[in-house]
Chain A
């Protein structure tokens, strides 16, 4: 009896053999204990890999966080990336990815009616002495404007949406860099540069999003609406300053 090779058995396991070859291998396996044992080893090795990768992925998810420093790529491209579980684009003037961003920007905005009056909040109680944060509704989106963003400050946007979440550097060309990961977007102010003005755009119909500036949760968005922390006159729990749509 001619035994089957590891390659044939693996291809059989992976359903990569032509039908006639697969039938022959199946027939051989019924008769050959040695090849069945080899098949079992390969199946076990495949399972081990799957388990190991799942463990690695879970560990990586725990350890993933803001980048330790600006990467060459991020600095060079001044970072634009579409992220993940919903796309995020961080945009900087002069980015080599500008072409894509312009294409994205030129796509017509969703014509979602804003049911509530477009209330613009005034500058809020931002992180002390570092930045001011303004939240306002725009067509189909909510704009979070962070001004006077400088000297190592950070913005973290966590989101769950299949729509675009965008960050744009409106002024201060070298003032900030961007980084993204699954469901998150970071903006980091470059130390020693002039203060930057950063615009975060959230889609109106997102599932959830949080904008954190220097560790302070500034904006919490969900299907129920947009909440801005720190506006004590709009109870309950210090938050609702505006609602956009349903």
Chain B
């Protein structure tokens, strides 16, 4: 397995996936680092490296999210989700729209998020099915449902009509 090549090839898309999944650059970076650390301990055929990295990164994100939510519940029952401040050059409207996208993604279940974000990264249904543990033939329905949920959530948060429902 060419680990060095895997870094070059997969880091950008894996980081993008993790950032979209978590909404936080620092967390995304951590998760991707951790996934590559774990990759060093694997001996995978080259064609299995990419799906493996995405599955591991998704699992790490879910684990972290669960740990964080348990901790949050102990600290403060109804703490608002932290929103990363935007720099001043980003207009207020744009910042609101970006925050709406983040919230819409976070409102999806982890499985829905994984499905949509893996699909956006070009994974085939068979690979998504392996990642989330469903039959290949179920993925179309899951994608459609997740898309509708995202579209509705984003439209509600963004203040626009959602005509897809």
Report the minimum CB–CB distance from B135 to chain A (whole Å): 11
Task: Determine whether A55 belongs to the interface, using a CB cutoff of 8 Å to chain B.
Answer: yes
Chain A residues closer than 8 Å to B102, beta-carbon distance: 56
Of the candidates A7, A77, A79, A85, which one forms a contact with B141 in the assembled complex, judged by CB atoms under 8 Å apart? A7
Interface bin, chain B: 35 or more
A81 to B89, CA, bound (A): 30
A49 touches B29 (CB 8 A): no
User: With A7-B140, A59-B95, A74-B30 as given contacts, are A52 and B37 in contact (CB-CB < 8 Å)?
Assistant: no
B145 touches A6 (CB 8 A): yes
Chain A residues closer than 8 Å to B154, beta-carbon distance: 48, 52
DSSP class of B's interface residues: helix, strand, loop or mixed? Answer: helix
DSSP class of A's interface residues: helix, strand, loop or mixed? Answer: helix
Of the candidates B25, B29, B116, B151, which one forms a contact with A63 in the assembled complex, judged by CB atoms under 8 Å apart? B25
Chain B residues closer than 8 Å to A103, beta-carbon distance: 3-4
Identify which of residues 64-109 in chain B touch chain A, using a CB-to-CB cut-off of 8 Å. 84-87, 89-90, 94-95, 97-98, 101-102, 104-105
Task: Determine whether B50 belongs to the interface, using a CB cutoff of 8 Å to chain A.
Answer: no
B150 touches A10 (CB 8 A): no
B139 touches A55 (CB 8 A): no
Interface code B143-165, partner A: CB below 8 Å = 1, 0 otherwise?
11101101100110000000111
Task: Determine whether B19 belongs to the interface, using a CB cutoff of 8 Å to chain A.
Answer: yes
Closest to B102 in A: A56
B163 touches A44 (CB 8 A): yes
A84 touches B15 (CB 8 A): yes
User: With A53-B120, A56-B102 as given contacts, are A14 and B143 in contact (CB-CB < 8 Å)?
Assistant: yes
Interface bin, chain A: 35 or more
Of the candidates A52, A67, A74, which one forms a contact with B101 in the assembled complex, judged by CB atoms under 8 Å apart? A52
Chain A residues closer than 8 Å to B165, beta-carbon distance: 41
Chain B residues closer than 8 Å to A16, beta-carbon distance: 124-125, 139-140
Task: Determine whether A73 belongs to the interface, using a CB cutoff of 8 Å to chain B.
Answer: yes
Query: Given A6-B144, A81-B11, A85-B12, 8 more contacts at CB 8 Å?
Result: A6-B148, A7-B140, A44-B163, A56-B101, A62-B87, A86-B8, A100-B40, A179-B29
Using CB atoms and an 8 Å cutoff, list the residues of chain A in contact with chain B.
Answer: 5-11, 14, 16, 41-42, 44-46, 48-50, 52-53, 55-57, 59-60, 62-64, 67-68, 71-74, 77, 79, 81-87, 96-97, 99-100, 103-104, 162, 179-182
Enumerate 15 A-B pairs (CB-CB under 8 Å) in ascending A order: A7-B143, A10-B140, A14-B125, A41-B148, A42-B148, A44-B164, A45-B148, A59-B101, A63-B90, A71-B29, A71-B30, A73-B37, A81-B7, A84-B11, A84-B15
